[in-house]
Amino acid sequence: MIKIENLQASVDGKEILRGINLEVKAGEVHAIMGPNGSGKSTLASVLAGKEDYEVTGGSVNFDGKDLLDLEPEDRSREGVFLAFQYPIAIPGVSIANFIKTAVNEKRKYHGMEDVKATDFLKMIKEKMSLLEIDNKFLGRSLNEGFSGGEKKRNEILQMAMLEPKLSILDETDSGLDIDALKIVANGVNKLKSDKNASIVITHYQRLLDHIVPDFVHVLLDGKIVKSGDKNLALELEEKGYDWIKEEQKALA
């Protein structure tokens, strides 16, 4: 589905990603872990097309298309979804209106008519019950005055409605208590199919108790230095990142 080769990127002239290689196939869940400043969120932003980041080398192939060549909105319409670490508030814009606009933009791109109001309502209510979200949510202003848990659930609801091929969850567990974490993880699991894939970016292994990854990658100084299965996450939880750093030094 997505093939990242030797991806390099910098911000304000400072190199952050120093050659990332990663391939994610349909039906897979990949976790990316790493200490603060290792480049995890940068990777998410670069894939989504955020302007502040300059791609200095490498390539990203997404379903046969050169992803880096697409505008951010077209990446979304092609099926890349980023669940933000800090979703921004848009006062006066209801969740229903926001999601409907997003859904219709995607439909337009794929040559489809706008979704009928009744169909939209039916669909969003289904997804909301799947994700255990109250109906009152729809009329609220997007992320305005939301708790951490509400913001993240809103992200997952949008993901459910847009039905992306690839979801990138950027620190989705940050700011969540364990109950909220379970609900969010549960939602992600319910949306999983053999046609879509996820990249889960996280600091802590606790999210991976609930969203079980097929692969775990360790990002260090802008490079993936170690890959393994879910046991690698447990090992990191126990021993921290220093032993990997040591290993790297020894190799060098």
Partner 1 sequence: MSDFQSTIDDVTQSEYKWGFVSDFDEDTVPKGLSEDIIRLISKKKEEPEWLLEWRLEAFKHFQTMVEPEWANVHYEKPNLQEIKYYSAPMSKKTLESLDELDPEMKSMYDRLGISIEEQKRLANVAIDFVVDSVSVQTTFKEELSKLGVIFSSFSEAVKDHPELVKKYLGSVVPPRDNYYAALNSAVFTDGSFCFIPKGVRCPMELSTYFRINAAGTGQFERTLIVAEDDAYVSYLEGCTAPQRDENQLHAAVVEIVAMKNAEVKYSTVQNWYPGNPETGKGGVFNFVTKRGICKGDNSKISWTQVETGSAVTWKYPSVILLGDNSLGEFYSVAVTTNFQQADTGTKMIHIGKNTKSRIVSKGISAGKSQNSYRGLVQVKRNAKNAYNFSQCDSLLIGDRCGAHTFPYIESNNPSAQIEHEATTSKIGEEMLFYCQQRGMDLETATALIINGFVKEVMEKLPMEFAVEAKKLLSITLEGSVG
Please say which residue, 144 or 246, places its beta carbon nearer to partner 1: 144
CB 128 to partner 1: min, Å: 17
Contact between 69 and partner 1 (CB under 8 A)?
A: no
Contact between 50 and partner 1 (CB under 8 A)?
A: yes
CB 185 within 8 A of CB 211: yes
Contact between 10 and partner 1 (CB under 8 A)?
A: no
Contact between 3 and partner 1 (CB under 8 A)?
A: no
Please say which residue, 21 or 97, places its beta carbon nearer to partner 1: 97
Whole-number Cα distances in Å, 68 to 42, 46, 53: 14, 8, 11
Contact between 137 and partner 1 (CB under 8 A)?
A: no
Residue by residue, DSSP assigns 121-171 as HHHHHHHHHHTT--GGGGGSEETTT--HHHHHHHHHHHHHHH--SEEEEES
Contact between 84 and partner 1 (CB under 8 A)?
A: yes
Residues binding partner 1: what is the number (CB under 8 A)?
31
Distance CA 47, CA 140 (A): 30
Distance CA 184, CA 211 (A): 10
Please say which residue, 92 or 145, places its beta carbon nearer to partner 1: 92
Contact between 65 and partner 1 (CB under 8 A)?
A: no
Contact between 88 and partner 1 (CB under 8 A)?
A: yes
Contact between 76 and partner 1 (CB under 8 A)?
A: yes
Q: Report the run of H or E that residue 51 belongs to, with start and end.
A: none
Closest C-alpha to 43, from 223, 238, 225? 223
Distance CA 230, CA 224 (A): 16
The interface with partner 1 within residues 91-130 (CB under 8 A) comprises 91-93, 97-98, 101-102, 105-106, 109
Contact between 141 and partner 1 (CB under 8 A)?
A: yes
Which parts of the chain are beta strand (E)? 2-11, 14-24, 29-33, 54-62, 65-66, 80-83, 90-94, 141-142, 166-170, 197-202, 215-220, 223-228
Using the rule CB under 8 A, which residue among 162, 200, 207, 208 binds partner 1? 162
Please say which residue, 27 or 87, places its beta carbon nearer to partner 1: 87
Closest C-alpha to 6, from 43, 57, 45, 53? 57
Please say which residue, 75 or 223, places its beta carbon nearer to partner 1: 75
Which residues sit at the interface with partner 1, rule CB under 8 A? 48-52, 71-73, 75-77, 81-82, 84, 87-88, 90-93, 97-98, 101-102, 105-106, 109, 141-142, 158, 162
